Amino acid sequence: MINHSASHVLAADFDYIRGIVERNYVGPGVLCEELRQQLASRFERPAVTLADSGTAALHLCLAALAAKEPRKSRVLVGAYVCPEVISAVMRAQLVPVLVDCRTDSMNVDMSAMSGKLDASTLAVICTGIGGAPDDIAATADWNVAVISDCAQAVGARVGGRDVASSGSCTILSFGPTKMLSAGAGGAFLGDEQLGRDVAALAGTELTVEEYKRSGFRPTYGQHMSDLTAGLAAAQLQRLDAMVGRRREIAAAYDRAVQGHADVTLVPKADLVKSNRFRYYFFSESAGTWVAHLRTRDIDARRSIAHVIPEYLGDSSAYPNLLRLAPQLVSVPIFPAMTVGQADFVAEMLDLGPKSKL
């Protein structure tokens, strides 16, 4: 079976963790500091806090924002998203407000999001579903914090600039099959002021003097080991090459499915380049497509996130999502695919579900 997604770890990546045995220490150390510096430089964010996961980094970010504006509690987020995003909002004791997707993709409808803004809105989260950037430029005059959740979208570009450099702050995930796959961990990237607040919440403990001076206050004990940081730094060095390979595979898939009348591709916008973290298309025969591919040992899927209104609220309030979600077909795409694997998937897409092979 050709997996739907996979890590992309090379032997050379482990060069970044040489010296750990000599130091005999695998906790936060020099490699964590190196990763912080690389992230800050590449994405033009002066403050970086490393965390146990992308979810934890998002929670810390929201908690820090809420502490500054305690009268605001609403967080706007796409209704088609990873449940961990919603969990982070709830963990910060905030209220997730779901927004419908676009008419032609699973990205959030920015016009609909704008319509849900009110005086109690603390932040909006742009998740870049499948690696296609949301239109963060549309938020320029919204006067709320715009969180660029780039667990999927890092490496995607808008106007020549990485989407992780857009918005008020950025969240990254280094999970096993994310764009930067170090196996675990995440990061908050932002300005110095918010960065200080996030770092204070993330700390494992305060000094005795600080507790005595200001009283006890909880911290969240977030950290990353040098083992994870070294792998994440190695992945970051190869990000452009990995995105390039994903785009090559996606282009071959595009050519393969364009001749099928029952297939609709996600449209491409000017100045926007997806990192092709996921490859998906729409078809009213989605189930037939998935069955066709899976019988050829291709791990095709019917979803790449979750229809959150099925768990929270009324799905009928999200007509675009209700129409598009059942039509989605996602196929394997990741940098570690061999040429033969990618060619085989493209061939099966070209043949389509009517093939009797």
The tens digit of pLDDT for each residue in 314-335 reads: 889 999 999 999 999 999 999 9
pLDDT tens-digit readout, 63-75: 999 999 999 999 9
Give 223-267 pLDDT, tens digit per residue.
Answer: 899 999 999 999 999 999 999 999 999 999 999 999 899 999 999
Best CATH choice for the domain 11-237 from the list 3.40.640.10, 3.40.50.2300, 1.10.1510.10, 3.30.565.10: 3.40.640.10
- 280-313 tens-digit pLDDT: 999 999 999 999 999 999 999 999 999 999 999 8
For residue range 122-161, what is the model confidence (pLDDT) as tens digits? 999 999 999 999 999 999 999 999 999 999 999 999 888 9
* Distance (Å, whole) CA 145 – CA 166: 11
Q: Around Cβ 23, how many Cβ atoms within 10 Å? A: 11
**What is the chain's percent helix, strand, coil content, to nearest 5?**
40, 20, 40
239-351: CATH number: 3.90.1150.10
Contact 279, 253 (CB under 8 A): yes
- Domain boundaries, given as residue ranges, for the chain: 11-237, 239-351
Single pTM value for the model: 0.94
Helix (H, G, I), strand (E, B) or coil at 81: strand
State whether the Cα torsion 341-347-352-354 is positive or negative. negative
Picking from 328, 254, 329, 330, the residue whose alpha carbon sits closest to that of residue 101 is 328
Residue 252 near residue 343 (C-beta atoms within 8 A): yes
Average pLDDT over residues 13-24: 79
